[in-house]
Amino acid sequence: MFNKKPLLISITLTIIIAKLFTFDVKASEQNNKNKLPEIGISGFSVLSLDKERQIGEAMMRQLRATQPIIQDPVLTEYINHLGNQLVKNAQDVNYAFEFFLINNNELNAFAFFGGHVGIHSGLLTTAENESELASVIAHEISHVTQRHLARRLESQSNSQALNMAGLVSGILIALVNPTVGMAALSASMAASQQASINYTRSNEKEADRVGIALLANSNFDPQGAPSFFAKMSEKYRYASKPPAMLLTHPLPESRIADARQRAHQFPVKQLSPNLSFELAKARIKARYQSTPSDNIANFKQQLQKQSYSLPAAANYGLALSYFENKDFKQAKDLLEFLLKTDKNNLFYIDALTDVYLALKMNDAALTMLSELSLLMPNNQVISLNYGNALLESGDYEHAASVLQDFLIISPGNYIAYDLLTTVYRKQGKKGLMHITKAEVYALLGAYNKAVDELQTSYDFVEEQPLLQKRIKARILQLQEQENKLKRL
C-alpha cells in the first residue's frame, strides 16, 4: 500500500555529478602527468571515498525521483537483511550499504558509488532459491568493495582525455536501463572501446571470484552462482533480446566454467528453502505482477498440486492475491491462520494490517501493532504500519508521535515523511506539513522545491520562534548540500 509512482524531478543532479567527475579527472591529469604508471589501479586518484559517498547519495536521490523503487517496508527489510548478511563478511567495506528493489520484471542488478545496490524485482522472482539471489547480490557488493566504477574512470583518464562528463552522465542510465544507457556510454567511450571492454571483463572476473568466496563465507550455497549463471545462459541462448543484466554483465561460457570451478573449491551446503525468501517472492508476484484473478488461480494451483517450495509461502501469496482482488474476508482468514503459526512474522503482520484496515477493523490492527511496537520498538515494518493504522483511525497525535520517534532512528525514511505529511495535513498543522513535505523533496534531490516548502512553512509558525530558527537552519543546510556538490 505504500508503493507510489516516483515524481519526475529535474536532472540537475546528473549535471552536477558529471561536473564533479570532470573536475576530478582534470585535477588528476595535472597532478599525475609526470608520474610513472602504476600497475595496481585503485581508483583513489580520480575519486576519494568521501566524494564517492556524496555522489552515491546524490545518485540515490535521483533514482528515487525517476525510477519505480518499491517503497515497501517488508521487502525493504528483507532485502537489506539479506544484503547485510553478506556485507558483514566482506572485505574492504568503507561505508554502510543500502539495498533497494526496483519494480521491473527485467533481470538486472547494479551497484554504484557509496555502497548502493539496486535489484530488479524480476531477478528475485526468477531465482529458485535464496543462494541464487544472494550470489547476484554478493557479486554487486564485490563491485563496490573493489571500487570498480572508480577504477574504470581512472583507467579512462590514464589512457587519454575522454569526455568524462559524458561518460559519467551515462553510467547511471546504463546501470538502471542498459538498453538505453549503453548507447550513451558507447558514444563517450568510442575512442578506447576495446580497452574499456577488456577492463570491464576484468572487473567481472574479479567480482565473480570475490563474490563466490563471500557467498560461501556467509553460509550460502556457493553453487548458487554457477547455477544462476547457467540458468540465464540457457534461457537466453537464442533470444534476440537478452535481459538487461547480460548487457552490463556479459556471460560467456568461459565465465560460467570459471564460476563452477571456483564454487567447487568450497564445501557444498545443502540448505532448506528459506521462508523469508519464499514469502518475498510470493509478495512480489501477488502485488507487482500479473492480475489478482490470475494470481489467485496460480497460487491455488500450487497448493492443489503441491508444486511449491513451502506451503506457507503459497498460502501467503494466495492471501495477498485475495486482498488485491478485494476478497478481504478470505484474505483475513488465511493470514490469521498463518500468523498463529508464526506470531512475529513481519510479512504476515504487514498484510494483516492492510486487511484489518480494509475491513474497518481498526481496533484489531491497533491492538496487534501496539503490542508488537513494545516487542520490536522502531522496527520499520511495525512503526510504519502502526503510524498508518493510527492515521486511518483518526488518532493523529499518536500517529505523529510514533512517526516522529521512528524518524529519530531512521532520518532518511521516505515513507515515514510521506505519512507524517499526511498526518499534519489532517491536523491542519500547515507549518509542520510543509516542513515534512520539504524532507520528501530533499530525499528526491529536489532541493529548490524543498527550500520553497520550508520558506512557505515559515509564515505558518510565526508564534514559534524556535521552530522558525530551525527552518532557517534547515534551508541553509539544504542549500549547502547542493552547493557542496557544485564546489567539489
Mark whether 371 is an active-site residue: no
- 88: cell is 558483514
User: What is the C-alpha to C-alpha distance for residues 311 and 273, in angstroms, rounded to an integer?
Assistant: 11
User: What is the C-alpha to C-alpha distance for residues 188 and 138, in angstroms, rounded to an integer?
Assistant: 29
What's CA 378's distance to the chain center, in Å? 20
User: What is the C-alpha to C-alpha distance for residues 17 and 21, in angstroms, rounded to an integer?
Assistant: 7
Place of cell 553453487: 223
Q: Which of 72, 98, 140, 350 is catalytic?
A: 140
What b/e string do you get for 284-293 counting C-beta neighbours within 10 Å, with b at 16 or more? bbbbbeeebe
- 148 labeled binding residue: no
- 398 labeled binding residue: no
User: What is the C-alpha to C-alpha distance for residues 290 and 287, in angstroms, rounded to an integer?
Assistant: 8
What's CA 257's distance to the chain center, in Å? 30
Number of H helices, E strands in the chain: 24, 3
Long-range contacts of 42-45 (CB under 8 A, 24+ apart): 42/147, 42/150, 42/151, 42/154, 43/147, 43/148, 43/149, 43/150, 43/151, 43/152, 43/153, 43/154, 44/147, 44/150, 45/154
User: What is the C-alpha to C-alpha distance for residues 487 and 391, in angstroms, rounded to an integer?
Assistant: 42
Nearest to 152 by CA among 214, 198, 94, 108: 198
- 204 labeled binding residue: yes
- Contacting residues for 6 by C-beta, under 8 A, at least 6 apart: 64, 65, 66, 67, 68, 69, 444
Nearest to 140 by CA among 171, 109, 162: 109
User: What is the C-alpha to C-alpha distance for residues 57 and 62, in angstroms, rounded to an integer?
Assistant: 9
Mark whether 98 is an active-site residue: no
Q: Which of 57, 130, 208, 350 is catalytic?
A: 208
Residues within the annotated binding site for Zn(2+)?
139, 143, 204
- Binding residues are 139, 143, 204
Annotated catalytic residues are 140, 208
